[in-house]
Amino acid sequence: MNAVSELSFHVEPGGALTGCIRVPGDKSISHRGIMLGAIADGVTEISGFLEGADSLATLGAFRDMGVGIEGPDAGCVRIDGVGMHGLQTPGADLDLGNSGTSMRLLSGLLAGQRFASTLVGDASLRARPMRRIIEPLARMGARIGSTDQGTAPLHIEPVESLLPINYAMPVASAQVKSCLLLAGLYARGETCVAEPAPTRDHTERMLAAFAYPVRRAGPRICITGGGRLSACRLDVPGDISSAAFFLVGASIAAGSDLTLEHVGVNPTRIGVLSILRAMGADIQVMNRRDAGGEPVADLRVRAADLKGIRIPQDQVPLAIDEFPALFIAAACARGETLLTGAQELRVKESDRIQVMADGLAVLGVEADPRADGIRIRGGAFGGGPVDSGGDHRIAMAFAVAGLRAGAPIEVRNCANVGTSFPGFAALAAEIGLAIEEARR
């Protein structure tokens, strides 16, 4: 039996979420801090680094390419940067586990190197689409091989340098944008990427923190190759994608009053706040401040009477990772919630539309999956055995559903929760969720 199927969550119905906590560091920022710190000149120090499997996969890949990295130790990492051209040929395939961010961003960074590399991952990662990065990288002169289906393993051959590109993304994707900007570091001239809708801008912000110029003109983000990055200190805020489960949990559970400290509130990531507030959630954003170029705040959330809404399509890219949690909010809301324009959810760690619909059906929730979204009618629901499909965000979403369930919920296939939120069950139990882990 594989490891992913050995851990389950058992959640008793009821309870409320109360207290003051800090969720683990932002995964997206943790990935990028390692990548840019590795190719910077000097020593980069990171605090708040997410010690989850995905970001550790990125860290391990750069160690395999000769970068000296100390830690992580209580979220602190020290990186001895090797400069733009100091990476070394890895002695083996770079195993990125379950991390799509690692594979897509690393493909851009490695496309301009003068050595060969191969990127591999687990079964889930090997099923995820990679042509969306392979095709524009090939236009830049990169030499990348994949399976006939356009999936990993990815074999990257050495090149002397890359060509600049002006690329209009057909679908809004921060991973594709970031991949091409990282490749643009190694291009002869200016590379520009135009996005059809705003996506998370952590790469642009972090390049600026490393003193590398980035130019934005409307929807176009441009970078000129051939520069240098200067090491810096980074303080990684709490991940709003991890906070989302508790934002939803405290919203749906009577008597809840929870404060989440030092959460990243980057404007390109706060779709979950906008959507929950439109549903009637009581969320206060307090003590706004800046941490290494990223806006952070404390979030206080109290129980509220949620109502179903039609989710605005312009909020979809700003909440793409938070929809499993938002589907639970919809299941607890009065009336109907409709999501459209979210076909990207079909190609995440799982088909998040179908796997969530299947799990909601087990609980007795009326859920109608569509090609690009889902319709959910809220109301009372029960419990039962739910399979997460090995998807960390789905596992945590159904765990917090226990706060409103009429019977116990068993969430199966939960080991991958460690990719983004190590210690989730213990922290959730500390603030009032009746959750236990079971291994078999």
**Which residues form the catalytic set?**
321
**Cis check: omega of the bond before 72, within 30 degrees of 0:** yes
Beta-strand (E) ranges in 83-175? 94-95, 117-120, 143-145, 154-157, 166-168
Q: How far apart are CA 237 and CA 263, in angstroms?
A: 5
Q: Given the DSSP bridges, would you call strands 257-264 and 18-21 parallel, antiparallel or unpaired?
A: parallel
Q: How far apart are CA 386 and CA 332, in angstroms?
A: 17
Please state the φ and ψ torsions of residue 66, each to the nearest 5 degrees. Answer: 90, 15
Residues 6+ apart with CB under 8 A from 73: none
Any bridge partners for residue 68, and if so which?
A: 80
Burial class (CB in 10 A: 0-12, 13-18, 19+), 57: buried
Between the alpha carbon of residue 119 and those of residues 141, 158, 200, 257, 310, the distances in Å are 18, 14, 24, 44, 39
Any bridge partners for residue 73, and if so which?
A: 76
Beta-strand (E) ranges in 164-281? 166-168, 190-194, 215-217, 220-224, 233-235, 257-264
Could you tell me which of 286, 332, 324 has the C-alpha nearest to residue 308?
Answer: 332
Instruction: State the angle between helix axes of 100-111 and 53-64 in degrees (0 to 180), rounded to the nearest 10.
Output: 30
Could you tell me which of 63, 77, 297, 32 has the C-alpha nearest to residue 174?
Answer: 32
According to DSSP, residue 26 is labeled: P
125 within 8 A of 101, measured Cβ to Cβ = no
Please state the φ and ψ torsions of residue 350, each to the nearest 5 degrees. Answer: -145, 180
Q: How far apart are CA 311 and CA 277, in angstroms?
A: 11
Instruction: Give the 3-state secondary structure of residue 239.
Output: coil
Q: For residue 339, give both structure tokens.
A: 């999501």
Any bridge partners for residue 95, and if so which?
A: 120
Could you tell me which of 354, 269, 279 has the C-alpha nearest to residue 317?
Answer: 269
Q: How far apart are CA 202 and CA 178, in angstroms?
A: 9
